[in-house]
Amino acid sequence: MKHIRIHKEGRLILGTLLLVLLLLNLFIYIKFQLIVLAINIVLSALLLFFFAYFFRNPVRKVVIDDPSLVVAPADGTIVVVEPTEENEYFGDKRIQVSIFMNVFNVHANWVPVKGTVLKSIHHSGRHMAAFLPKSSTENERSTVVIETEFKTQILVRQIAGALARRIVTYAHAGKECHINEHIGFIKFGSRVDLYFPMDTEIFVQVGDSTTGNETIIARLNE
């Protein structure tokens, strides 16, 4: 079994929730019958389990000898594989691959390819359902552009969903990034888009499931 820990983005939330539930159960113990306390303890345990499950951070290490291979930055389901115009940074046609994360997926995001971060910027926006196509340009999102050692550039876009209210991005311009590192975290349902050069070989199709930092999704033409 793989070692699993709690992601740092969830530790304060879980600690605060645990304290609140302890105080609530203490109050119920003083004021109400034991049956009420028993029910509340069960509900508290279920709530704690859900938050601990959501903020789980599985330790995944992958060894990739071929620097042209791209690993999935997130757990989820492929919802888009198509050529599209990417106008925020490239201003030309790219292959878009989108991974939708539901609330039960791991929400840590990994670096998809070794390289140097050229750009990292956060955009405020709406909170529509992340599986909708226009969420890529209208929702709250964070854009990261990575250049590989062979000067190929890819764009990674973290997109908040209907429930997500906070995107955390660890990448910043000028930083070296590597496979097995986290690029960020999105809280409560979201999506990650990737934009590749048109000559990239794509290994996934719509409907495929991905495992972050494990599933090989593409090969760059380098």
Of these residues, 68, 142, 190, 209, which one is catalytic?
Answer: 190
* CA 91 to each of CA 7, 84, 163, 197: distance values in angstroms, whole numbers, following the listed order: 35, 10, 30, 12
Residue 163 has a pLDDT of 62
pLDDT of residue 138: 72
Token pair 């939330």: residue? 13
What integer pLDDT is reported at residue 1 of this predicted model?
44
Rounded Cα gap, residues 180 and 212, in angstroms:
9
Mean pLDDT by groups of 10 residues along the chain of 222 residues: 72 89 90 88 91 84 91 96 95 96 88 96 75 70 94 94 74 93 83 96 97 96 83
Residue 139 gets which letter from DSSP?
B
Residue in the block written with tokens 């955390």:
168
Domain spans of the chain, in order of start: 4-58, 69-219
Q: Using the 8-state DSSP alphabet, how is residue 126 labeled?
A: B
Q: Is 190 an active-site residue?
A: yes
Contact 2, 60 (CB under 8 A): yes
Residues 144 and 95 sit within 8 Å (Cβ to Cβ): no
How confident is the model over 101-142, as pLDDT tens digits? 888 888 899 999 999 999 999 888 776 666 666 666 777 889
For residues 115 and 175, what is the distance between their CA atoms, to the nearest angstrom?
9
Q: How far is residue 211's CA from residue 73's CA, in Å, rounded to a whole number? A: 8
Class of domain 69-219 (CATH, top level): mainly beta
Residues 6+ apart with CB under 8 A from 25: 37, 40, 41, 44
pTM above 0.85, yes or no: no
